[in-house]
Structure 1
Amino acid sequence: MTEGAKKILVIGPSWVGDMVMAQSLFITLRRRESGCRIDVLAPAWSFPLLDRMPEVSKAIEMPLTHGQFAVQARIRLGKQLRNERYDQVIVLPNSWKSALIPFFADIPVRTGYLGELRWGLLNDARRLDKKKLTMTVQRFVALALPADAPQPPECPVPSLAIDSDRQQAVRDKFNLNDKAPILALCPGAEYGPAKRWPAEHYAELAQCKLAQGWSVWLFGSGKDQAVAARINQLSGDACRDFSGQTSLAEAVDLMSLVDVVVSNDSGLMHVAAALDKKLIALYGSSDPGFTPPLNSRAKVVDLRLDCSPCFARECPLGHTDCLTQITPAQVLAEIG
């Protein structure tokens, strides 16, 4: 950090995709405040992402889980951060409790959206104009700019830094020697089944690419192991299934090795975009206008049915046509 440069704390989000999009904010801060230090208070699981963002100086563990109130613990953590002498904090979550820590850290400029009536806790409280800031990333980046800056702001593209030694480490650990092009499939979506393309469609896609000589890798968390196993079974157990077998850090480094990614609207979709991969992003109940993959190489497949986006976890109509009617042939055509 340049001597005398600004020291900024960011209270980070609690979702993989949002943390990836937050890099656009970090890039904007660095462009505006040359030499500034950016620390991020965030869940420990997000550290592998923050470690791959060169704009971030330090990640600080948020010891409280998403949704945990714990007022006294937040006050104690705020007081512990006083010695850091931050010049500004930017609070990305909109909850009242998320603004407690910077308030008790005595950070002089506390920026964020008004959210849950946070007057006083924030002294640079912004009113969110959802008509002007239609995308999550725009809302993040706008907080790096003065309140009267033109909206929507220009949003830099997230770009996760990949280290060749880490790539070799995952090659060695998982004994990878694939010479064929690699298709990555990300069949999970934390939010719910209304965001998940059917396993049978993923399997048909996998079978087509396997027949063409491709390798197919399956990605996901432990929660996605059942659907990944189903896809692999339907594909003759010819895919490499990494679901539940990797850390987030390893998943990022593995994905950096693939050629094409097909994904539901999920955190891994945003990771693929930030790795500048050719990406086919499948949208059902969610809105690609709100949380699109931030990558010019990404192709969004969205049927734009009258009933979507509904933003529901499960299809209110019971059919999930917005996803089931996206055919494997359509996705194959996008892969090219």
Structure 2
Amino acid sequence: MSEKILIISPSWIGDCVMTQPLYRRLKTLRPGCTIDVFAPKWSMAVFERMPEVNEVIENPFGHGALRLGERIRTGRELGRRGYSQVIVLPGSLKSAVIAAATGIKRRTGYVGESRYLLLNDIRKLDKTALPLMVDRYTALAHPSQADFDGHSDHPSFHINPESVAAALAKHGLHLDKPVLAFCPGAEYGPAKRWPPRHFAALARRYAARGWQVWLFGSQKDFAAAEEINTLSDGLCTNLCGQTSLSEAIDLLAQAQAVVCNDSGLMHLAAALGRNIAAVYGSSSPDHTPPLSRTAEIVTLKLDCSPCFKRECPLGHTDCLNGIPPQMVDDALQRLAAATA
């Protein structure tokens, strides 16, 4: 009987993508193991594209909901599935409560929010030694951080051609022209979002070269995407809020190039092996860069950035406003030449 491992996943899409190298490392270190992931409903499509994952189990608890009794009951139900280890990736006390309630013999995770009594294979994170989030996850596959070699693989998703065909048909899309994908949103705030006018200028350039431009994001990004479309004279197809995450992943996989902010969609595009121009303003690629050999960081490296603020504390957002479309276009051209 193969060893069964339960993963309690993070909630953010980008963080979910970065967990895949952990599963690959577990498969290497413990051949034949079975990996199940306990994940929020909105992120389940991410794990369904990972061949290392056996089953995705829905985590019914949203952000901020304690519901202690329900968490304990859910943990007990998970504990009946015969796991030998649970690895807790979020740093919250709430996630550790579920792990403790499972009764699973080995409960692994970082110290986090006072979790000493809940986890029994507890690690102290050396952030200096492991600046990358992906490495912090992968290190948990090993008996200790000292046993980790300091290197994580890149995420790589499996895409089903039938799902792609269904998504294209549903949204009336065609692949008769190359696709440039824009991901203009960023959940954290406006200090991470390249201006719509710059996206629009780049859209006009690529449309003139015979490309089509698809805009991806959630319903929250719809208005910004509409502004891009208006400023580019209606040259784009606005898919923001129109697709499920599953459809967005499959459609994003059809793009020859992607321009994105530091966001969950950036990490999805990286896992799909797309050519990516990743625009950074208030945040830094030193912690959560796009994990891909076909991605280029576009940033001005101003003295005031990264500030890690939701809105520019100086009121000008020069770190993004000052990045011209030509700079992003140059990055895409270099990537195209390198991957030709």
Give the TM-score band, short-chain normalised: over 0.9
Q: Structure 1 stretch 8-17 or stretch 141-150: which is displaced more?
A: 141-150
**Equivalent residue number for residue 260 of structure 1:** 257
Matching residue within 206, 217, 222 for 1:225: 222
Q: What RMSD in Å do the two structures reach over aligned CA positions?
A: 1.0
Matching residue within 266, 287, 293 for 2:284: 287
Helix, strand or coil at the partner of 1:155: coil
Q: Could you give the per-residue CA deviations for residues 14-53 of structure 1, whole angstroms, max 9, x where no partner exists?
A: 0010000111111111111111111111101111111110
**Equivalent residue number for residue 126 of structure 2:** 129
Give the distance between the partners of 2:188 and 2:42, measured in 1 at CA.
17
- Equivalent residue runs for 1:25-174 within 5 Å: 25-151=22-148, 153-174=150-171
Helix, strand or coil at the partner of 1:67: coil
CA positional deviation for 1:152: 5.7
Give the distance between the partners of 2:19 and 2:273, measured in 1 at CA.
16
CA positional deviation for 1:148: 4.8
Q: Could you give the per-residue CA deviations for residues 261-299 of structure 1, whole angstroms, max 9, x where no partner exists?
A: 000000000000000000010011111010000000100
Give the distance between the partners of 1:6 and 1:314, measured in 2 at CA.
47
Give the distance between the partners of 1:6 and 1:64, measured in 2 at CA.
27
**Aligned-partner residue type, residue 95 of structure 1:** S
Give the distance between the partners of 1:22 and 1:319, measured in 2 at CA.
35
Give the distance between the partners of 1:304 and 1:132, measured in 2 at CA.
23
**Aligned-partner residue type, residue 245 of structure 2:** L
**Aligned-partner residue type, residue 76 of structure 1:** R
Matching residue within 292, 295, 299 for 2:296: 299
Q: TM-score normalized by structure 2?
A: 0.96
Give the distance between the partners of 2:158 and 2:226, measured in 1 at CA.
30
Helix, strand or coil at the partner of 2:199: helix
Q: Could you give the per-residue CA deviations for residues 110-130 of structure 1, whole angstroms, max 9, x where no partner exists?
A: 100001111010101100101
Q: Could you give the per-residue CA deviations for residues 66-118 of structure 1, whole angstroms, max 9, x where no partner exists?
A: 22111111111111112112100110000111100110110111100001111
Give the distance between the partners of 2:78 and 2:174, measured in 1 at CA.
46
Matching residue within 270, 274, 277 for 1:273: 270
CA shift in 2, pair 1:33/1:152, >3 Å: closer
Give the distance between the partners of 1:82 and 1:21, measured in 2 at CA.
25
**Equivalent residue number for residue 181 of structure 1:** 178
Helix, strand or coil at the partner of 2:135: helix
**Structure 2 unmatched runs, 5+:** 334-340
Give the distance between the partners of 2:235 and 2:175, measured in 1 at CA.
13
CA positional deviation for 1:213: 1.2
2:142–2:148 Cα contact (<8 Å) kept: no
**Structure 1 unmatched runs, 5+:** none
Sequence identity percentage: 52
Give the distance between the partners of 2:128 and 2:148, measured in 1 at CA.
10
CA positional deviation for 1:149: 3.0
